């Protein structure tokens, strides 16, 4: 009798219909992961999932808004079918108004939405998915931004949310260490994406690299010991990614 096939790792990627999330989903599928991908854009999400399946990937799309508790419960239900979750990539993000307003003039209802998507939803997903993450001794990757550190005019709302996400990541890394769950935050750098274009309406951003420029970083990250990386903040376009000794 032949031995059963080894279990494939499972990754959940939010904001997986375009940009960095789509690139990450494609990369993880090529690395042998089963995938759950979610995003608000149902049509784009379905197209991307169909393309991955055509390449032989096991992928399930779950359209919805990560800020919606009902959607997060549904993601947990899908994960529970697998029994464990090896990788959670909190990539879905909300930019806020376009063009970007000064922070002193930022509409507060829009700012609340930015924090709901960029801070509360990633934390809520970790809370929702902690049992299957712990069962797999899995890894959480929270997508940050250089705006978290820069204080750039116009980027205050978005940047503040990503700075909060960085602190959430570091705190969770400390708190979840005993459960074997690693948490990192990653600044992907300036990229040629729909969101970045929305930040600069009418401006040519063709000088920015496409999200594929981050692939060497993801290939490096995926083959490190997550416990050695947990609690660190990485820049995907940096020349070196090693954890300080």
- How far is it, in rounded angstroms, from Cα 58 to Cα 191? 28
Task: Quickly list DSSP for 14-58.
Answer: ESTTSHHHHHHHHHHHHTT-EEEEE-S-HHHHHHHHHHHHHTT--
> With the CA atoms of 151, 157, 163 and 165 taken in that order, what torsion angle do they form, in degrees rounded to the nearest 10?
-160
Annotated catalytic residue 158: yes
Catalytic residue among 27, 115, 155, 158: 158
Q: How far apart are CA 110 and CA 54, in angstroms?
A: 38
Q: Is the dihedral of CA 131, 148, 104, 194 positive or negative?
A: negative
Residues forming a β-bridge with 38: 14
Positive or negative, the CA dihedral 75, 76, 78, 82 is positive
Query: Is residue 183 within 8 Å of residue 133, measured between CB atoms?
Result: no
- Report angle CA 114, 106, 192 to the nearest 5 degrees: 55
8: its two tokens: 């494939």
Q: Which residues are catalytic?
A: 158
């Amino acid at each position: 009798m032949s031995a059963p096939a080894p279990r494939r790792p499972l990754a959940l990627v939010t904001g997986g219909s375009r940009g960095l999330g789509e690139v990450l989903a494609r990369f993880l599928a090529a690395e042998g992961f089963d995938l759950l991908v979610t995003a608000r854009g149902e049509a784009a999400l379905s197209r991307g999932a169909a393309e991955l399946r055509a390449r032989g990937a096991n992928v399930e799309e779950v359209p919805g808004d990560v800020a919606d508790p009902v959607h997060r419960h549904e993601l947990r239900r899908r994960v529970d079918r697998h029994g464990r979750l090896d990788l959670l990539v909190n990539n879905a993000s909300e930019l806020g108004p376009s063009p970007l307003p000064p922070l002193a003039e930022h509409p507060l209802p829009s700012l609340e939405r930015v924090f709901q998507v960029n801070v509360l939803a990633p934390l809520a997903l970790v809370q929702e998915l902690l049992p299957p993450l712990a069962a797999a001794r899995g890894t959480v990757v929270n997508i940050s931004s250089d705006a978290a550190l820069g204080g750039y005019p116009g980027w205050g709302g978005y940047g503040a949310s990503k700075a909060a996400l960085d602190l959430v990541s570091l705190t969770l890394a400390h708190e979840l260490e005993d459960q074997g769950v690693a948490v990192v935050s990653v600044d992907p750098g300036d990229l040629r994406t729909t969101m970045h274009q929305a930040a600069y309406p009418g401006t040519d951003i063709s000088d920015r690299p496409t999200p594929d420029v981050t692939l060497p970083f993801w290939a490096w990250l995926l083959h490190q010991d997550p416990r050695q990386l947990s609690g660190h903040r990485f820049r995907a376009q940096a020349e070196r990614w090693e954890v300080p000794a």
